[in-house]
Amino acid sequence: MRNPLRKRLLRDLAGDAGKYIVIFVLMVLSIGLISGFLVAANSMIYAYDEGFEKYNVEDGHFITAKKMNTAQALAVEDLGVRVGEEFYIEVETDESNTLRIYPVRESVNLLCLMDGRLPENGSEIVIDRMHADNNKLKIGDTITSGSRSWTVTGFVAFPDYSCLFSNNSDSMFDAIRFGVGAVTEEGFSALDQDERAFCYTWQYLESPESDEEADRMSKDFLPALMEEVSVREYLPRYQNKAITFTRDDFGNDRTMMMVLLYIIIVIMAFVMTVIVTSTITKEAKVIGTLRASGYTKGELLLHYVSMPMIITVISAVIGNIMGYTFFKDFAASMYYNSYSLPTFVTLWNARAFILTTVVPLVIMAVITVTILARKLQISPLRFLRGETSRRKNRRTLRLSRKIPFFSRFRMRVILQNLGNYAVILVGFFFADFLLAFGMLLPVILNSFQEKILDEMIAKYQYILTVPMEMTESEHKLEGLISGVMFMRGVETDNPDAEEFSVYSLRTTDASYITEDIMLYGVKDDSRYFRADIGKEDVFISSAYAEKFRIGPGDTVTLKEAYEDETYTFEVTGIYDYSGGLAVFMDQATLNRIMDMDADFFCGYFSDTPITDIDGKYIGTVLDQEALTKISRQLDHSFGDMMFIFEIFAVIIFFVLTYLMSKVILEKNAHSISMTKIMGYRNGELSRLYILPTTIMVLLINLICLPLVDAALARVWRYYICQRMTGWMPYIRDIPSYIKMYLLAIVTYMVITGIQYLRIRRIPMDQALKNVE
Amino acid sequence: MSLLEAKGIKKIYKTRNGGVPVEALKHVDLTVEKGEFVAIMGESGSGKTTLLNILAALDRPTEGTVVLDGMDLGAVKNAAVARFRRDNLGYVFQEFNLLDTFSLGDNICLPLVLAGKKPKEMKKRLDALAQPLGIADLLKKYPFEVSGGQKQRAAVARALITQPRIILADEPTGALDSRSSDELLALFGQVNRAGQTILMVTHSTRAASRASRVLFLRDGTVIHQIRRDGRTDQEMYQRISDALTLLANGGDRK
């Protein structure tokens, strides 16, 4: 004879199929989704890491002012590196996207061809797969830039652009407006050669083992390199966001996903506990008998816990299978939406398996065991009498007789089910949280975008690239010459242009991630800067103030990016500017602090485009497009994720209200049957038994929203402070909250319909049959 | 030495809010010898069930000691009580307390399942019991498919399957019709003759007449006892009836 308990489990499963299926589906979906994400992320990270070798990725690159001559190239190679040419030319396409075009690489940073073929003649091009996706380009389409045009023959992933940062100082990448492509040598030489950026990659003969070593090697390499050539940009790989950002971001996503999964499991564990508790109540007398025959709490506990555990195990197994198949592809497509990654092979991921199987099982076990063990704590004698409430003398709360009978009745139903409502409260809180996140993000992004545009100092901020020699005291003559060249090159006749100086320093506050702070020196009679700034005034941007919680009177300490020198400022005011973390002061003051001439400047504010300065001196243009890049990209990357959050939120609403109202009705089936016998009609019964839950659901949801708002504000701040550079304030958007409330109500209405049918089905003889 | 020995048992129930304490048992001395079939009789509220619960270690006496087979129940730690019950006690209740979703066979084996016994061992023990108890054909049936008497026999089988030292029965015939009651009592007689010690609480004279000794409980004390001493069931019945009449009329024989 087989163990009869197994049969019992099956029968229980069949008997409560409705409830268990709902829980099962939710758990499979969440485990599947998370497992899919982890597997995809892990496989992609593996492919990404492997790509360094496979595609022979650079250890860094530098851009020189002029093409290096052979002697220089040899001299640089003597510094212990292999140098490769990787010139590029940026063109603006007719869709006003910037396309950075390289010749097809042959030795370093090799392309991963994802679809189509490589270009074969001068009028063909391969472009980055993600940029193509974002701009809905297909193979065979034509890209035009003025008089030139190319046919797209394939999509590729550039290993040095897994994330499409056009400029390493950008706080967010822009895969929509910025793209990279490759053409044949012939195609490249047909482009305007004056526009070439003389970019050289380097690879150490002995590869560094760690980021620390890479840091040391690159710091040794830079001064030696500068002895040989004039360097305009120097970017070792470990600092190159276009390469490193992707990997960092995978990690962040993982944390978010895991939190999502575990909260769902916790809620489901509570729901399971409620279901099993009602079974225990039903079987109280048998439990009493068994306990009286000498069976321990532990043995009974094991039995009652096995159902939740079995369901979790099955969910985990099926969830993982789905994770490796369906959800993995889904997750991969989401990552491909944000990152330009090479193709990957799915890898078995032991860590993902533990995180999505073992950990949920442990959570389920801890919660069910803790609660059910308390429940089974009741003495065998009381079980035998069918008393399953833990309180010994259950005194009924006295309700005033002045309250109408029906209200009192409903209050009794509510009081009797407080535990279930508590589970609903926890679940709703979480569901509302997800929903709020999903609904508020677009609102936050939009409002941020508007705010930035409102507060722009000028429509255009040109930040000029000052030749390195100008700031180097060792090359006096060269510095002087290039200084003169620079001054001449950046002269403008645009009457809107106003000079300013700018300097970049880094934050030193260890409790936040390190940020680049822009120090602006503005003219005292500035047309663009909207505040009066005195000689000794130090204003910080509102974004800086909000993020670091700094106000007037506080001091800030900043340091040079690659050196130890620090600067301390006392803040005297806050300037409304959300476009970035910045410090504003008088131009002369800033120049003095930074050891520059009093009339030095390196940027222009202007409300009209400046067209008459030498393009090679323009480092960055901060216009509307550049400043809103971050919100555009976040919207694009998280768009799908927000949708998932909303779906999960609705499913949780549905599952919770369904299961809990079902349990409440089952608990009361006997009394409902009895009241039916007394002649109550179905409508009246639902007013007695469904209305209380309705009231509670409405109330709970109302309580949840402000809690969610408070929690979200904190999480938002934490996320932005710990994970992101820049600042985007959280917005309490009331219309979104109203929408959320309505959504929850609509979901509940559907459930109520089902419950009404259920009440109708409870037969009258139930009360007569079960006398015990 | 007696299998079960209770001395000076006193039980006072206190209500939580300082109500009047209820003295359920005043002073009870009781011994049960191995192989005995003892019935405890008394009217509602006489303390029968309280006494049984204390003997079963389901409840603790306010005063007094219970010694089962040399073990002092008062000295057994709370954590070990379950183990003690499992190894020594079998239970039969007025309500059968069978699981609806289990066949009778499964219900009977339930204690063994919880004890982690092998299916083979379970089957062996079940088969050994089913035949004499007359439920061999019913093992595959569900509680709702059989009569009350059959359910109670299954409940007895469930109590016996762990081979307890003593069976404690609380009004086992309370929910049965007379025929089923007779069958059950015959069964009790049968297992008793096979060496099983039984302690039964009842207020049915008919049930008590099968016992080898009958104790009468009133207001928390044992006021009378009758030994079989070779009497037939019929004679026992007569004596118990007489005793009850006498007690009801205010007699206080000891």
Q: Which residues contact A321 (CB under 8 A, 6 or more apart)?
A: A32
Interface touch A381/B105, C-beta < 8 Å: no
At B2, is the secondary structure helix, strand, or coil?
coil
Q: Which residues contact A747 (CB under 8 A, 6 or more apart)?
A: A650, A653, A654, A657
Residue with tokens 């019929």: B234
Res. A394: pLDDT tops 80: no
Res. A562: pLDDT tops 70: no
Interface touch A772/B99, C-beta < 8 Å: no
Interface touch A8/B16, C-beta < 8 Å: no
Which span out of A114-123, A407-416, A447-456, A656-665 was modeled with the highest average pLDDT? Answer: A114-123
Res. A152: pLDDT tops 90: yes
What CA–CA distance (Å, rounded) separates A404 from A399? Answer: 10
Tell me the average pLDDT of chain A.
83
Total CB pairs under 8 A between chain A and B: 92
Residue type, A394: R
Rg over alpha carbons for chain A, rounded to the nearest Å, is 33
Buried b (16+ CB within 10 A) or exposed e, A485-522: ebeebbeeebebbbbbbbbebebeeeeeeebbbbbbbb
Tell me the sheet residues that pair with A485.
none
What CA–CA distance (Å, rounded) separates A157 from A180? Answer: 9
Q: B82-91: per-residue pLDDT in tens?
A: 777 777 888 8
Scanning A276-335 for CB atoms below 8 A from B yields: 283, 285-286, 288-297, 299-300, 303
**Which residues of B lie closer than 8 Å to A, measured between beta carbons?**
15-17, 53, 56, 58-59, 82-91, 93, 95, 97-99, 101-103, 105-106, 109-111, 113-115, 119, 122-123, 126, 158-159, 162
C-beta atoms surrounding A536 within 10 Å = 10
Q: Which of A1, A300, A772 sits opposite B95 (nearest CB)?
A: A772
Confidence of residue A365 (pLDDT cuts 50, 70, 90): very high
Is residue B32 within 8 A of residue B167, CB to CB? The reply is no
C-beta atoms surrounding B75 within 10 Å = 9
Q: Which of A4, A11, A293 sits opposite B113 (nearest CB)?
A: A4
Instruction: Supply the pLDDT for residue A751.
Output: 83
Res. A51: pLDDT tops 60: yes
Is residue A390 within 8 A of residue A378, CB to CB? The reply is yes
Instruction: Supply the pLDDT for residue A393.
Output: 47
Q: CA of B237, closest CA in chain A: separation in Å?
A: 31
Residues of chain B with Cβ-Cβ distance to A295 below 8 Å are 82, 86, 111, 114-115
Q: B33-76: per-residue pLDDT in tens?
A: 888 999 999 887 788 888 888 888 888 888 888 888 888 888 87
Instruction: Supply the pLDDT for residue B251.
Output: 55
What CA–CA distance (Å, rounded) separates A497 from A487? Answer: 15
Q: CA of A279, closest CA in chain B: separation in Å?
A: 12
Mean pLDDT of A223-244: 83
Confidence of residue A364 (pLDDT cuts 50, 70, 90): very high
Cβ burial, residue B105 (10 Å; 0-12/13-18/19+): buried
Q: CA of B7, closest CA in chain A: separation in Å?
A: 22
Residues of chain B with Cβ-Cβ distance to A11 below 8 Å are 101
Q: In this complex, is the C-beta atom of A381 within 8 Å of any C-beta atom belonging to chain B?
A: yes
Backbone angles phi, psi at A144, to 5 degrees: -120, 145
Interface touch B105/A1, C-beta < 8 Å: yes
Instruction: Supply the pLDDT for residue A768.
Output: 62
| Closest alpha carbon to A185 in A243, A237, A137, A120 | A120
Residue with tokens 């268990």: A20
Q: Which of A139-148, A156-165, B129-138 has the lowest mean pLDDT?
A: B129-138
Res. A717: pLDDT tops 70: yes
Res. A715: pLDDT tops 80: yes
Interface touch B82/A12, C-beta < 8 Å: no
Res. B252: pLDDT tops 80: no
Res. B247: pLDDT tops 60: yes
| Residue of chain A whose Cα is closest to the Cα of B101 | A8
- Strand ranges inside A117-256, DSSP E: 124-128, 142-145, 148-157, 178-183, 198-204, 231-236
Q: Which of A297, A381, A392 sits opposite B53 (nearest CB)?
A: A381
Residues of chain A with Cβ-Cβ distance to B87 below 8 Å are 294
Q: CA of A400, closest CA in chain B: separation in Å?
A: 22
Q: CA of B99, closest CA in chain A: separation in Å?
A: 7
Residues of chain B with Cβ-Cβ distance to A379 below 8 Å are 58
Q: Which of B93, B95, B119 sits opposite A1 (nearest CB)?
A: B119
Q: CA of A284, closest CA in chain B: separation in Å?
A: 9
Is residue B244 within 8 A of residue B205, CB to CB? The reply is yes
Confidence of residue A637 (pLDDT cuts 50, 70, 90): low
Residues of chain A with Cβ-Cβ distance to B109 below 8 Å are 1, 4
Instruction: Supply the pLDDT for residue A171.
Output: 63
Residues of chain A with Cβ-Cβ distance to B15 below 8 Å are 393
At A117, is the secondary structure helix, strand, or coil?
coil
Residues of chain B with Cβ-Cβ distance to A393 below 8 Å are 15-17
What CA–CA distance (Å, rounded) separates A544 from A726? Answer: 8
Instruction: Supply the pLDDT for residue A572.
Output: 92
Tell me the sheet residues that pair with A620.
A463
| Residue of chain B whose Cα is closest to the Cα of A282 | B99
Residues of chain B with Cβ-Cβ distance to A303 below 8 Å are 114
What CA–CA distance (Å, rounded) separates B60 from B10? Answer: 10
pLDDT above 90: percentage of residues in chain B: 6
Q: CA of B39, closest CA in chain A: separation in Å?
A: 20
Mean pLDDT of A99-110: 91
Residues of chain A with Cβ-Cβ distance to B158 below 8 Å are 289, 293
Interface touch B89/A293, C-beta < 8 Å: yes
Instruction: Supply the pLDDT for residue A170.
Output: 67
What CA–CA distance (Å, rounded) separates A480 from A489? Answer: 14
Confidence of residue A199 (pLDDT cuts 50, 70, 90): very high
Q: CA of B118, closest CA in chain A: separation in Å?
A: 8
At A726, is the secondary structure helix, strand, or coil?
coil
Instruction: Supply the pLDDT for residue A247.
Output: 78
Residues of chain A with Cβ-Cβ distance to B127 below 8 Å are none
Res. A310: pLDDT tops 70: yes
Instruction: Supply the pLDDT for residue A395.
Output: 55
Confidence of residue B253 (pLDDT cuts 50, 70, 90): very low
Domain boundaries, chain A: 54-245, 406-417+434-454+626-772, 460-622
Q: In this complex, is the C-beta atom of A17 within 8 Å of any C-beta atom belonging to chain B?
A: no
Q: Which of A203-217, A432-446, A669-683, B177-191 has the lowest mean pLDDT?
A: A669-683
Res. A771: pLDDT tops 50: no
Rg over alpha carbons for chain B, rounded to the nearest Å, is 18
Sign of the dihedral through C-alpha A605, A608, A611, A612: negative
Instruction: Supply the pLDDT for residue B147.
Output: 85
A198-204 and A81-85 beta bridge pairing: antiparallel
Total residues found in chain B within this entry: 254
| Residue of chain A whose Cα is closest to the Cα of B123 | A1
Instruction: Supply the pLDDT for residue A5.
Output: 62
| Closest alpha carbon to A660 in A413, A458, A471, A467 | A413
